[in-house]
Amino acid sequence: MRIYECADYRAMSRQAANVISAQVIMKPDCVLGLATGSSPVGTYEQLVEWYGKKDLSFARVKSVNLDEYWGLSGTHPQSYRYFMQEHLFDHVDILPENTYVPNGLAEDAGAECARYDRLIESLGGVDLQLLGMGRNGHIGFNEPGDCFELGTHIIELAPSTIDANKRFFASEDEVPRQALTMGIRHIMQAKKILLVVSGEDKADALAKALTGPVTPKLPASILRLHPDVVLVADKAALSRLDNREGVMTV
């Protein structure tokens, strides 16, 4: 794992955008696995800026998103489809038909999960998977549990996740209690993984994920078993890491 420590959120976002843009330049028809939430917003803003300067094109890129709230339509302002349109898709030249997000209104959650797995496999898997990490160590919506869920599945959101996401809704009662999420298998089968983590509130979980046991009780810990992971974090997120060996400051 390569670890980059950045001074702040803005520097972290630019460094993460560098990794993604390099992937797109090296393989213009790549498959990007994309994430939502506050962590990657600055990364998307930087990519949009570089696209506007004609430094980057997404015309041949395909994207698959990690997750979607169960019960929300893609036009709901708090859905992850809406988030992606607002922060990236509507501002670059990626083709709408090449952007994939789980369907939060599918009649059968199990069938939708199976369909999404088949879709990822039909694309040849993910070239670069962008991840954030929750305060409890979740990746995507793979919450802490007794085992790693392999395929796309429906998940009951942990109270800490609901609490963290309530700021995006009018009240906590409006936060969905379930989500569809890509499973650990397709995340770990991505050729490269880019993990972005920001903030002191995630420092404890990040330190444990990097140095503690690999366990489904801290889902991000499994990333240590992947052969090509880039972690880009700000100083606050890395503040609890005692062993600084190999950490590069940018």
Residues noted as catalytic = 67, 136, 138, 143
51 φ/ψ angles, rounded to the nearest 5 degrees: -60, -45
Count CA atoms within 13 Å of residue 159 on its CB side. Answer: 0
d(CA 153, CA 89): 25
Q: How many CA atoms lie within 13 A of 58 on its CB side?
A: 25
Spatial CA neighbour of 84 closest among 71, 66, 106: 66
How open is the CA angle 144-150-155, to the nearest 5 degrees? 50
Q: How big is the CA angle at 148 (ends 125 and 194), to the nearest 5 degrees?
A: 45
CA distances to 122, 190, 231, 243 from 125, rounded to whole Å, are 7, 6, 21, 34
Other C-beta atoms lying within 10 Å of the C-beta of residue 149: 20
Q: What residue type is assigned to position 117 of the chain?
A: D
